[in-house]
Each structure stands twice: as structure tokens, then as C-alpha cells.
Structure 1
């Protein structure tokens, strides 16, 4: 082969290699430009553009009428760019200069401004005059930027619902936390161009990326109804509530719901706190007890027992039941609060009289399977789903291990543990026609432009009873207020349905002497309920009908008037005449019960009679082993005191369950020899 041909082949091969290389290069450049160009450009900008974040304004939290409950107010933040500070060599001088302005030590400031970070916040929430002084110093690498801080204009009002935001404007509790995504907005920034040495370029390009304000969260809460509830709580906590006689409870809560939609109109708990100074508040005051605390509901739970018995047609309202004063289950006597019982009565009168044996009969007729079905259907032993963190489940007795005695005590509101929000939600289902609703706290989310982003939608969980059953029970519960044990919540001209409850507190496997959880639940108007209200007062020596019913009565009346609900011309102006044997003497002044524990029967009766009380006895023997109410308890003067007798003081003390009403007490003697509740097999 001639040299010429060989040379041509080599040139052709070289040309082919160069061509392939160029094609690969062009393809690669095209790929980089078209596919990776944006990312690479961003990385390049990031390497020589440095941004100072500009915080967005956090969205407002408002009540259902648009009243502002939480807002953001402008403030400023002092920041440092440590690379510039180090480049200047003046870090110590700057720290000494800034120290008196920012109220920090020079060493602390120097540590901040020389950190190995791209940007460091030196001091947040700086006063405008201080920020102006910092800017006037023109220190290299030191600047200020616009910021905002959270402000709660109404102080403690609805604080457990709203929660609070931290120093970095992040939600920490309440709606501030659960709606963080909607409220926080999108940060902006101020970008400046820097050289590779970290020095700002002369006549460098500046970019301003505006922050996007957060959305407004509009609650279902009504500021005025919330104020009515918190006003009554303040009276209670100061000991100035009706019949409190200067004695303050440990805590209390008042919940107001629209039963037809599940919207919460008020959710108040005490003690409370000011979210503007949340760091200074005791952590216990920040606990939302209406959502997170459980308690044994007592007779307010009889509403559920009655609903189940009516729905399953286990009773008829006109059917008669004879109350002999106690109901025997597995050899244990569950007493009626009225000595000697109520005798012959219809089941309507059983409800009016809050008769324990009558409600136990309903539970026994239902049976364990049906009773537990309604427990679950009404939402007990499970979260309601309300938009609050830390909601408790409540505790239900383990069905597999429950006995007929457990069924008896559960029928009258004992043994099981519920939360206030669970009970109010369940009672609202009875009031609204039989549908369990999910309790709601957020009405809508509104964008910065005023457009509704997310509207409210009521959520029906399930139907638990029929319309007919709901209508019938509303009438019966209205009769409880008009003719029965709930008469202290009677409102002239309004049809009110309700039920009282008093529970002795459980602790360390037994019951606390002389300390109760008093409660009252009601809804009105009874025929077409607009409001359902529950008050739970923890740690008082009084009963639900004495302290809780007047609270609900006051909040109910103020709220109905505020909502423009006019009195019903057909509604009674005065309570009806009590059923035979059921009397309601006026509330008397409080009196202290003497302790007669360990005394012979004769001496105990003499001491009680001398103090103005009436002695009732239970058991056999000559020595007093226990008493209800316990010694030093504050009750109405002239009340009955039930004393338990035995042979000697070594006999095990009884655990008790109490129910109110007026000066009489439902003293249930059904725990003799029974395992304490804390040791009982419990399930969820």
C-alpha cells in the first residue's frame, strides 16, 4: 500500500475521532444547558449571592365573626454575616459596641458573629429605635431585617384553643400548632452579590424576593359565648361562683357546641394562661382539660343509658318500675339516693328522679353486648377527632372481664372514664336527631386576598339512634328540668333539657374523701336545640346540681339572648310541681359535716343531730366505719349523712359513688369487698 493511501486513512480516522468527540461534546453541552441549566445556574447564584431571610407575617386567627384572636406585629431582627465580620478583623470591637444595645454580653455576641455559618441571627424582636442605632453604626457584616412577632390582643381568652407561637414564629400549641402549614406563610429574602473572597461586589446586583403572608384561620368559636363561659370560670376559680362560699375548685371547664353541626362555640378551661407570656405560665395551666382529662361522668351518663334502652325498645316511657331503695346484683346492693326508694314510678319518672335502680334495670335489660355497642357508637373509648393535640381516649372497662355488677355501675355513669368533649359530643347526638357529629374548631381558611381557601364542612360520623328516639328522649330530658332533678337549670320562657352528675374522685385505687367532680349538661331549646353546654368542675365539696347547674343556666341564658333566640310563648314560666316524694327545698348555707368515724352509733347520731344533720345508717354493727359526706366536707345545712356500720374499725372501708341532687345524695353501696378501680381489668 502506498504511503499516500496510508496517510489518507490516518487523516480520515483522525477526522472521524474529532467528529465523534465534537458530537459527544455538543450533546453533552446541550444536555447540560437544557436539562441541568436551571440547577447549575441556581448553584452558581448560591455561590456568590447571599440572602438575608425576610420573615412572612403569620396569618391571623379569628373567631367566627372575624374578631382577631391572634395576630402578627412588626419587629426587627439583628443579623450577622460571619464571613464579613471575620474579614474585617473587628469582631471584638463590634461585640463590645453591640453589647449595651442588645443587652447581651460581649462574649456572647462575639460567639454569634464569628460562627462558621453563612448567616447568624444575633437578636430577634429588637425595638425599632435599637434597630435604627444598629444600622447607624454601619458595622461590616452586621445588619437588620424585618421580622414579626405573635400578639394575642385578648390575652387569656380562648388561650387553650389558640395556643401560642415561639420566638421563631413557629406554632407550639393549640391551633397555632395544628394549623402551622396554613398560618406560617412563605419567607422572602434580600439577595446581594459577593465575590469569592466574601466581600460584597461594588455596584453589585440586589434582588428582593417578597415574603408571602400566611392564611387566616377562622374558628368556629364565638368570642362572646367564649367570654360568657370564661367569666363563669373566673367566678368559680375565685370561689365566688353560686354556692361556692369562697371555695375554689382545682380546675373547671365549660364547653358549648352547636349540636346540629358539631361546631364548638366555646371551649373554656381554668386555670388559664396568657399566651403573650406563655414562658412564665405554669405548665399545668396550659393543659386543655376539656380535651385531655378523663373523669367518671356520674348521672350525666344516664342520658346515654336511656337513649340505648329507648332505641332497643327495652323500656316504654309509661311502663312502671318499682324502686324499693336498692337494686341487688350478684349479691351487692346498689342504693337509690332517696332513702326507702321512690316506690312505684314510670320510666319517665325514673329519669326525672335520677333513680339509680331504674337505670340499672335499663342496663340489665340491654345486656352486655348491646350496652357496649352503644358505648362505641356514641364515641366513648375513642378520640372524637377534634383539632387539638393530646386528646385522651378515655377508658372503658374490659368487656371480656366485665360482670353484671360492672354493667350495673356503668349504667349509672360509674367505672368508665370519659373526657368532657366525648360526653358533650354524645349528648349532642341525642339532641340533634340521633347523629354523632365530629366536633369542629375551624370554620374556614381565608387567603390574604380574602378568598376562602378551605370552607367548613360538617362531618357526620354515624347515626346512633333514630329521629323518633331522639325526639322522645328530648321530651323526657326536658321533663327532668321542668319536673325533676335538673330544676336548678330551669329558664323561664325557654325549653331546656338537661341532667346533673356528681362523681367522687378516684386516686390511688380508691376514692378521695369529700372531693367531687360536679357536672351538668343541658341543651336548648329542647325541641330544636341551638346549644349544648357541659360544665365540669373538679375538686369541690359540692354536688352537680348545686354548683354546676347554675353555671350552665347562666351561660345558656346569656348565649340564647346573644344569638337572638326568643323565648317560646308555649314554654312554662315556672317549673312544674315535683313528682310525689321528690322535693326541692331552697339552697341553704354551707355547713361542715363532723367526722364520726370510729364512734359508737349512739354518739355518732348525737354528733350529727347536734350539728343539724340527719343521720341514715347502712350495715350491721355498733361502730361507724365510714360516712357520706366525709368529715369536714362542706354541704348544705340540714343534709342527710349516711353512716356505714360494722363490728370494728378494722373492717375494710367502702368505696362509694355519689349522685347529687339537692340535699339528698345518691349513695351507692356496691363496692363492699370489690377490687379498687385502679386494679380492675381495663381496656380501651
Structure 2
């Protein structure tokens, strides 16, 4: 082969190698430019651009009508760029000048502004005057930037729902925590170009990246109904509640739900706190007891037992049951709260009288398996899924170890531990036609532009009882308020259904004597419920019907009027008349009932007679402790006014009215021997 041919082959080979190298180089450059270009550009910018973060404004929290419950207000933050400060050699001078302005020791400020970091916050949330003074110093590496601070314009209103945000605008509790991602927004920054030595470049490029404001979270809560509930809690915690006689409970809660949708209209707990100053509050005051605390519900739970017995057709309301004063299970007697029992009664009267043996009979007919199935179906022993952190699951007795005696006590609301939100959700299912709804707190998420991003959706969990069973039980519970133990919640002109309850508190393996958890749950109007309300009062020496009924009555009346629910002309104006199936003529003439609370009986009767009313009395004594209808109520002229009497206004006497209360204190509790079996004569 000639040298010329060899040379040409070598040149061709070299040319191919160069072409291959160029192809590889082009592919690599294309990959770097197209795939890694953005990241590399960012790294380059980071090496010579330094940014001062600009905090976004946290989104508002509003009630269902758009009333602001939480908002962000503008403030300023003093920051330092330590590299610049160190280069000036004036760190001590700067710290000494900033110390009186920021109220911090000079040594602490010096350590912070010379720290080995890209950026340091010297002081957050300074006043505009202080920020202006800092800027006037014109210290290199020291500046101010816009910031925001969380503000709760209504103080403690709905504090346990809203929660609070920390100094860095991070959600710490409540909706502020659970919806932190939607509320916090996206930070912006102010970028300035620096040289490799850390000195700002003359006529350097500046970039401003605007922060993105957080979304607005609109709640299902109604500010006004929440205020009604908190007003009554404030009265209770100050000892000024009806029949409290200066007694102050350890805690209390009021929950209001729309039973048809599961929307929470109010969720109030006491004691409470001001989220603007949450650091000053006792941690126990920040606990959302309506969600995180469990208790034995007592007779309010009988609503569930009755629903199961009706649905399974284990009883007929017209069927008779004889209450001899106790019910014997496994050789143990569970006594009725009424000494000697109620005697012969229908199962409707069993509910009206809250007769323990009658409800135990329902539980025994249901049997263990069926009873536990309904416990689970109604949501007990599991979280409701409400949007609150730390929700408790409650405690159910171990089914494998439970005996017929446990079934007896569970049937009347003892033994098991439930949360207020569980009980409210379960009873709302009875009220709405038989469907368990998931309780909701967030109605919708709204973007900065005002557009709804995430709308509220009703969440049906399961159907538990039929429409017919629901209708039947609504009528029975309405009769409880009209004729039975819930008469203190009677509202003239409105059809109210409900159930009282009282349970002794468990401590150190036994029951605390003379200290109860008093409660009442109701819904109205009974035929087409708009509201379900539960009041739980912990640590009082009174029964549910005495202290919890009036609270629910007041909140219910104010809420129904606020919602525009008009009185039913067919509803009775005084308690004591049978409700279902009766027709009532419209009000002929309205009259205002005068208040006679605290007056001697003779004087009270004179005032009411002169106002055109007839009087009925309950109890023994000469002083009027309570009245139905209450003072200032609008009722039909010449109606009856029921007066409850006692020895004096400060020391109420137990009367036959109080003996009608559906308390379950005498109910025994065994739970496989973990608690001693005890019988108390205080069950009223």
C-alpha cells in the first residue's frame, strides 16, 4: 500500500474521531443547557445574588358568612448580612447602637450579626418607628424587611377552633395547624448582586420576587351562633349560669351542628384563651375538650339504645314494661333512680321518665353482638374525622370480656367513654333521618383572587337506621322535652326534642361522690331539625336537667331566631301537653311573660295574675327558683306559667321536678372487675 493511501486513511480516521468528539460535545452541551440549565443558572445566581426574604401574608380565616376570625397585619423585621458586618469591623458599634432600640443586650446582638451564616434575623415584629430609626443609622449589612403578624380581631372567640400561629407565622394549633399549607403562602425576596469578596457591586442588578399571599380558609362556623355558645359558657364559668348558685365547673363545652350536612356551626370550650397572647394561657385552657376529652355520657346515650331497639323491632312503644325499682342481672340489682320504680308504663313513658330498668331491658333484648354493632355504626370507639388535631377515640369495653352486667350498664350510658363530638354526630344521625355524617369545620378554600379552590362537600359515612325509626324516635324525644325529664329545655312555639344526662366521674378506680358530668343534647325543630346542640358541664354538684337544659334552651332559642326559623303555630306554648298527633290553634293574642325569679310565691302569683297568666307550681318552698316560660318570652295570653319552688334562692331544695331528672348515678359499673360495683341513691 502506497504512503499516500496510508496518509489518507489516517486523515480520515482522525476526521472521524474529531467528528465523534464534536457530536459527544454537542450532545453534552445540549444536555447541560436543556436539562441542567435552570439548576446551574440558579447556583450561579446564588453565588453572587443575596436575597432578603419577604414574608407572604398568611391567608385569612373566616366564618361561613365571610366574617374575619384571623388575619395578618403588616409589621417589619430587622435583619443582618453577617459577611458585610464583619468586613466593616464595626460590629461592636452597631450592636451598641441597636441595643436600646431593640431592647436586647449588645453582646447578644453582636453575636447574632457576626454569626457565620448568609442572613440573620435580629428582631422580628418591630414597630414602624423602630424600623425607621434602624434604617436611619445606615449601617452596612443591617436592614429591615416587610413582615406580617397574626392578629385575631375577636379575641378568644372560637379560639379552640382557630388555634394560633407562632412568631414565624407557622401554624401551631387548630385550623392554623391543619390548614397551614393553604394559609402560609409562598415567600418572596429582594435580591442584590455581590462580588466574590462579598462587597455589593456598584450599580448592581436588583431583583424583587413578590411573595404570594396565602389562601383564605372559610369555616362552617357561624360567628353569631359561636358567640351565643361562648356567652353561656362565660356565665357558667363565672358561676352565674341558671341554677349554678355560684358554683364554677372545672370545664364545659357547647357544640352546635347542622344535622343534615354535618357542618359545625359552633364549637366552644371553657376555660378559653386569647390566641393573640396564647403564650400567657395555661396549657389546659388551650385544650379542645370537645374533641380531645372523653366522658361517660349517662342518659344522653339512651338515645342510641332506643334507636337500636326500635330499628331491630325489639320493642313497641305501646308495649308495657313494669318497673319495680331495679333490674336484676347476674345476681346484681341495677336500681332505677326513682325509689320504688315507675311501675307499669309504656316504652314511650320509659323514655320520658328515663327509666333505667326499661332501657336495660332494651339492651338485653338487643344482645351483645347487635348492641356492639350499633355502637360501631354510630361511630363510637373511633375518630369522627373532624379537622382537629389530637381527636380522642373514646373507650369501649372489651367485647370479649363484657358480661350481661356490662351490657346493662352500657345501655344506660355508663361503662363506655365517648367524646362530645362523637355523641353529637351520633344523635344528629337520629335527627336527620338515620344517616351518619362526617362533622365538617372547613366550608371552602378561597384563593387570593377570590375564586373558590376547594368547596365543601357533605360526607355521608353510612345509613344506620331507617327514616321511619328516625321519625318515631324524634317524636319520642320531643315528648321527653314536653312531658318528661327535659322540660327545662322547652321552648314555647318550637318543637324541641332532647335528652338529659348525668354521670358520676371516675377517679382511682371508683366514682367521685357529689361531682358529676351534667349534659343535655337536643335538636329542633323536632320534625325538620335545623340544629343539634350538646352541652357538657364537668365537675358540678348538679344534674344535667338542672344546669345543662337551660343553657341549651337559651342557645337554641337565640340560634333559631337568628336563622329565621319562625315559631310553629301548632306547637304548644306550655309544657305538659302530649305532642304527637295533636293540633293546636294559632296564637290568638301574644303577651310577654314577666320575670318573677327570686320572688316569694304569693308576690309572684299576684304579678302573673295581673299580667293575665295562670300559675302552676312544682316543688316545696316559698321562693321561685325558676319559671317556664322564662321572663320576656312571647307566649299566648292567659297561658300557664310553671313555677319551680325552693326554700330560698341560694339553696335550692330537691323537689319532685328534680326527681324527674334522668340521672344514672345509681347505675353500676363492673368492666370485668376493674371498678367496684356500687349503688348510689342519688340517681335523679
Shorter chain as denominator, the TM-score bin is: 0.7 to 0.9
Q: TM-score, normalised by structure 2?
A: 0.87
CA shift, 1:6, in A, is 5.2
Separation in structure 2 between the aligned mates of residue 588 and residue 664 of structure 1, nearest angstrom? 26
CA shift, 1:112, in A, is 1.0
1:223 aligns with 2:237: no
1:415 aligns with 2:412: no
SS of aligned partner of 1:401: coil
Instruction: Summarize the alignment of residues 318-357 of structure 1 with structure 2, pairs less than 5 Å apart.
Output: 318-357=318-357
Please name the residue that 2:246 is paired with. 246
Please name the residue that 1:607 is paired with. none
Structure 1, unmatched stretches of 5+, are 592-611, 614-633, 641-658, 680-684
Please name the residue that 1:381 is paired with. 381
1:55 aligns with 2:55: yes
CA shift, 1:667, in A, is 4.9
In structure 2, relative to structure 1, the CA distance for the partners of 1:426 and 1:264 (3 Å cut) is same
Please name the residue that 1:183 is paired with. 183
1:637 aligns with 2:653: yes
Please name the residue that 1:675 is paired with. 673
- 1:341-384 Cα offsets, whole Å, 9 max, x none, are 11110000000000000000000000001000000000000000
Please name the residue that 1:599 is paired with. none
- 1:110-144 Cα offsets, whole Å, 9 max, x none, are 11111111111111101011111111111111111
CA shift, 1:9, in A, is 4.8
- Please say if residues 444 and 456 of structure 1, whose CA atoms lie closer than 8 Å, have aligned partners that are also in contact: yes
In structure 2, relative to structure 1, the CA distance for the partners of 1:192 and 1:661 (3 Å cut) is farther
Separation in structure 1 between the aligned mates of residue 257 and residue 68 of structure 2, nearest angstrom? 21
- Please say if residues 639 and 663 of structure 1, whose CA atoms lie closer than 8 Å, have aligned partners that are also in contact: no
- Please say if residues 503 and 663 of structure 2, whose CA atoms lie closer than 8 Å, have aligned partners that are also in contact: no
CA shift, 1:14, in A, is 3.9
1:517 aligns with 2:517: yes
Structure 2, unmatched stretches of 5+, are 580-616, 626-645, 678-684
In structure 2, relative to structure 1, the CA distance for the partners of 1:671 and 1:377 (3 Å cut) is closer
In structure 2, relative to structure 1, the CA distance for the partners of 1:364 and 1:235 (3 Å cut) is same
Separation in structure 2 between the aligned mates of residue 663 and residue 388 of structure 1, nearest angstrom? 34
Separation in structure 1 between the aligned mates of residue 267 and residue 260 of structure 2, nearest angstrom? 17
Separation in structure 2 between the aligned mates of residue 273 and residue 397 of structure 1, nearest angstrom? 35
- Please say if residues 500 and 661 of structure 2, whose CA atoms lie closer than 8 Å, have aligned partners that are also in contact: no
- 1:592-620 Cα offsets, whole Å, 9 max, x none, are xxxxxxxxxxxxxxxxxxxx99xxxxxxx
Instruction: Summarize the alignment of residues 285-364 of structure 1 with structure 2, pairs less than 5 Å apart.
Output: 285-364=285-364
In structure 2, relative to structure 1, the CA distance for the partners of 1:675 and 1:587 (3 Å cut) is farther
SS of aligned partner of 2:477: helix
- 1:551-573 Cα offsets, whole Å, 9 max, x none, are 00000011111111100000000
Separation in structure 2 between the aligned mates of residue 531 and residue 193 of structure 1, nearest angstrom? 61
Please name the residue that 1:585 is paired with. 619
- 1:127-167 Cα offsets, whole Å, 9 max, x none, are 01111111111111111110000000000000000000000
Separation in structure 2 between the aligned mates of residue 331 and residue 58 of structure 1, nearest angstrom? 64
CA shift, 1:419, in A, is 0.3
Separation in structure 2 between the aligned mates of residue 7 and residue 664 of structure 1, nearest angstrom? 113
Separation in structure 1 between the aligned mates of residue 423 and residue 415 of structure 2, nearest angstrom? 15
Separation in structure 2 between the aligned mates of residue 190 and residue 451 of structure 1, nearest angstrom? 29
- 1:273-294 Cα offsets, whole Å, 9 max, x none, are 0000001110000000000000
Please name the residue that 1:430 is paired with. 430
CA shift, 1:43, in A, is 1.1
SS of aligned partner of 1:83: helix
CA shift, 1:26, in A, is 2.6
Alignment coverage as a number of residue pairs: 618
Separation in structure 1 between the aligned mates of residue 513 and residue 2 of structure 2, nearest angstrom? 121
In structure 2, relative to structure 1, the CA distance for the partners of 1:667 and 1:129 (3 Å cut) is closer
Separation in structure 2 between the aligned mates of residue 35 and residue 368 of structure 1, nearest angstrom? 66
Separation in structure 1 between the aligned mates of residue 224 and residue 302 of structure 2, nearest angstrom? 31
Q: TM-score, normalised by structure 1?
A: 0.87
Please name the residue that 1:439 is paired with. 439
Please name the residue that 1:31 is paired with. 31
CA shift, 1:86, in A, is 1.1
- Please say if residues 542 and 635 of structure 1, whose CA atoms lie closer than 8 Å, have aligned partners that are also in contact: no
In structure 2, relative to structure 1, the CA distance for the partners of 1:283 and 1:665 (3 Å cut) is closer
Separation in structure 2 between the aligned mates of residue 347 and residue 555 of structure 1, nearest angstrom? 30
In structure 2, relative to structure 1, the CA distance for the partners of 1:671 and 1:177 (3 Å cut) is closer
Separation in structure 2 between the aligned mates of residue 138 and residue 423 of structure 1, nearest angstrom? 62
- Please say if residues 541 and 635 of structure 1, whose CA atoms lie closer than 8 Å, have aligned partners that are also in contact: no
CA shift, 1:40, in A, is 1.2
Please name the residue that 1:147 is paired with. 147
1:112 aligns with 2:75: no
Please name the residue that 1:562 is paired with. 562
Separation in structure 2 between the aligned mates of residue 430 and residue 667 of structure 1, nearest angstrom? 25
Please name the residue that 1:594 is paired with. none
CA shift, 1:38, in A, is 1.9
In structure 2, relative to structure 1, the CA distance for the partners of 1:137 and 1:586 (3 Å cut) is farther
Separation in structure 1 between the aligned mates of residue 478 and residue 188 of structure 2, nearest angstrom? 58
In structure 2, relative to structure 1, the CA distance for the partners of 1:331 and 1:32 (3 Å cut) is same
Please name the residue that 2:601 is paired with. none
SS of aligned partner of 2:79: strand
Separation in structure 2 between the aligned mates of residue 115 and residue 314 of structure 1, nearest angstrom? 76
Range 163-172 or range 16-25, more displaced = 16-25
Please name the residue that 1:166 is paired with. 166
- Please say if residues 618 and 655 of structure 2, whose CA atoms lie closer than 8 Å, have aligned partners that are also in contact: no
Separation in structure 1 between the aligned mates of residue 167 and residue 288 of structure 2, nearest angstrom? 22
1:21 aligns with 2:21: yes
Separation in structure 1 between the aligned mates of residue 554 and residue 659 of structure 2, nearest angstrom? 19
- 1:76-135 Cα offsets, whole Å, 9 max, x none, are 011111111111111111111111111111111111111111111111101011111111
SS of aligned partner of 1:65: coil
SS of aligned partner of 2:367: helix
Please name the residue that 1:526 is paired with. 526
CA shift, 1:17, in A, is 3.6
Separation in structure 1 between the aligned mates of residue 295 and residue 29 of structure 2, nearest angstrom? 71
Separation in structure 1 between the aligned mates of residue 671 and residue 358 of structure 2, nearest angstrom? 24
RMSD: 2.3
Separation in structure 2 between the aligned mates of residue 86 and residue 252 of structure 1, nearest angstrom? 57
Separation in structure 1 between the aligned mates of residue 213 and residue 621 of structure 2, nearest angstrom? 56
Instruction: Summarize the alignment of residues 61-140 of structure 1 with structure 2, pairs less than 5 Å apart.
Output: 61-140=61-140
Please name the residue that 2:588 is paired with. none
SS of aligned partner of 1:373: helix
Please name the residue that 1:211 is paired with. 211
SS of aligned partner of 1:385: coil
Please name the residue that 1:471 is paired with. 471
- 1:392-433 Cα offsets, whole Å, 9 max, x none, are 000000001100000000000000000000001000000000
Please name the residue that 1:157 is paired with. 157
- Please say if residues 397 and 671 of structure 2, whose CA atoms lie closer than 8 Å, have aligned partners that are also in contact: no
- Please say if residues 433 and 470 of structure 2, whose CA atoms lie closer than 8 Å, have aligned partners that are also in contact: yes
- 1:529-557 Cα offsets, whole Å, 9 max, x none, are 00000000000000001100000000001
Range 557-566 or range 84-93, more displaced = 84-93
Please name the residue that 1:371 is paired with. 371
Separation in structure 2 between the aligned mates of residue 665 and residue 275 of structure 1, nearest angstrom? 37
1:538 aligns with 2:538: yes
